[in-house]
């Protein structure tokens, strides 16, 4: 039976690149988990994906997510493959290795259980390969989102982070996130939320005027968002791991040089505007969806 959104993801045990994994024990009671399947070891797109996932691991950890990958080869093969991935440069500068487990689903037991097989892609023995599936599972082991791509299309892991942000925000507040939303951007008030409740829980919101005259497009600021005031330990690493981190590098470089030359304050003032904001745990919420 394929898993549907809202289903409890079943427990499983499986050998992996870091030894035997018991899924529920590994994730624990308080973490979300991201399970990504891959067609095969020693393949180009998969290598870029696993390296990228390693690079972004601190960002998943900040969102309280444990990461697991799955590929239909044995654990020894996974460990050899990891050496290639580490050397490929895709893990980035701050994360040098694939440290999360790669499940060894040699018999395709999990791939079948989770509905991950792609009938269009076969290995040299004619067996179907796993597609590029992503399962986003919350801290109650409920399946909250899935993404399914064919073997020939590598995934965008920033999109997976974005979906986690949306799910975690909408669990806490009566909001839904609009198209292409990213943290800090305006959110929609959910249709079932009365204006009075929205006002109390979210503060001021605006109603977009539309020809029908219906007041269903209500926008509020992102209630889980706070601009950071100081760079905390680990934040620079996290910022550099983001899509925009690379763009910040020249600014940070200038900052270091300016600091060394004694011109820290003016350089800091001009670079401060460009800091990538982060989510904070909501301080207050009179409303809890889950």
Residues that bind ligand BEZ (CB under 6 A): 39-40, 43-46, 121, 129, 151-152
Q: With respect to ligand BEZ, which residue has the nearer C-beta, 137 or 151?
A: 151
Place of tokens 């839904």: 176
The DSSP symbol for 115 reads: T
Q: How far apart are the first and last CA of the chain?
A: 26
The DSSP symbol for 142 reads: B
Name the minimum Å distance from CB 28 to ligand BEZ.
31
Name the minimum Å distance from CB 40 to ligand BEZ.
6
Tokens of 187: 């959110």
Name the minimum Å distance from CB 225 to ligand BEZ.
36
Q: With respect to ligand BEZ, which residue has the nearer C-beta, 46 or 116?
A: 46
Return the ∠ at Cα 90 (arms to 65 and 233), rounded to 5°: 50
Q: With respect to ligand BEZ, which residue has the nearer C-beta, 38 or 276?
A: 38
Contact indicator for 254, 263 with CB cutoff of 8 Å? no
Rg value, the chain, Cα:
22
Name the minimum Å distance from CB 98 to ligand BEZ.
15
Tokens of 210: 């539309």
Query: Of 130, 141, 168, 153, nearest to 36 (Cα)?
Result: 130
Q: With respect to ligand BEZ, which residue has the nearer C-beta, 6 or 44?
A: 44
Q: With respect to ligand BEZ, which residue has the nearer C-beta, 86 or 171?
A: 86
Alpha helices (H) in 131-244, listed in sequence order = 157-172, 195-202, 235-240
Angstrom distance (rounded) from CA 162 to CA 151: 22
Q: With respect to ligand BEZ, which residue has the nearer C-beta, 13 or 43?
A: 43
Q: With respect to ligand BEZ, which residue has the nearer C-beta, 43 or 74?
A: 43
Query: Of 250, 242, 245, nearest to 267 (Cα)?
Result: 250
Q: With respect to ligand BEZ, which residue has the nearer C-beta, 121 or 243?
A: 121
Name the minimum Å distance from CB 85 to ligand BEZ.
12
Contact indicator for 121, 129 with CB cutoff of 8 Å? yes
Name the minimum Å distance from CB 132 to ligand BEZ.
8
């Amino acid at each position: 039976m394929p898993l549907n959104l809202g289903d409890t993801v079943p427990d499983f045990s499986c050998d992996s690149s870091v030894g035997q994994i018991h899924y529920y024990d590994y994730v624990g009671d308080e973490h979300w988990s991201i399970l990504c399947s891959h067609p095969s070891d020693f393949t180009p797109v998969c290598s870029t994906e696993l390296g990228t996932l390693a690079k972004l691991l601190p960002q998943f950890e900040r969102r309280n997510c444990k990461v697991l990958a799955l590929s239909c080869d044995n654990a020894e093969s996974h460990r050899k493959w990891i050496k290639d991935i580490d050397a490929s440069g895709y893990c980035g500068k701050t994360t040098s290795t694939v440290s999360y487990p790669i499940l060894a689903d040699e018999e395709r037991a999990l791939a079948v259980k989770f509905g991950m097989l792609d009938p269009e892609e076969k290995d040299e023995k004619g067996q179907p390969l796993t597609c590029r599936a992503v399962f986003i599972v919350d801290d109650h082991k409920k399946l909250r989102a899935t993404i399914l791509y064919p073997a020939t299309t590598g995934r965008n892991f920033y999109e997976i982070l974005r979906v986690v942000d949306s799910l975690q925000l909408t669990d806490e507040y009566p909001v839904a996130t609009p198209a292409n939303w990213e943290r800090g951007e305006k959110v929609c008030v959910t249709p079932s939320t009365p204006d009075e409740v929205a006002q109390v829980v979210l503060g001021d919101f605006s109603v977009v005027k539309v020809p029908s005259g219906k007041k269903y497009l209500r926008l509020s600021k992102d209630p889980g968002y706070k601009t950071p005031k100081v760079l905390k330990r680990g934040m620079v690493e996290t910022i550099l791991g983001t899509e925009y981190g690379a763009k910040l590098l020249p600014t940070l470089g200038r900052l270091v040089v300016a600091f060394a030359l004694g011109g820290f304050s003016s350089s800091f003032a001009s670079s401060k505007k460009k800091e990538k904001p982060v989510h904070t745990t909501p301080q207050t919420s009179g409303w809890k969806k889950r």
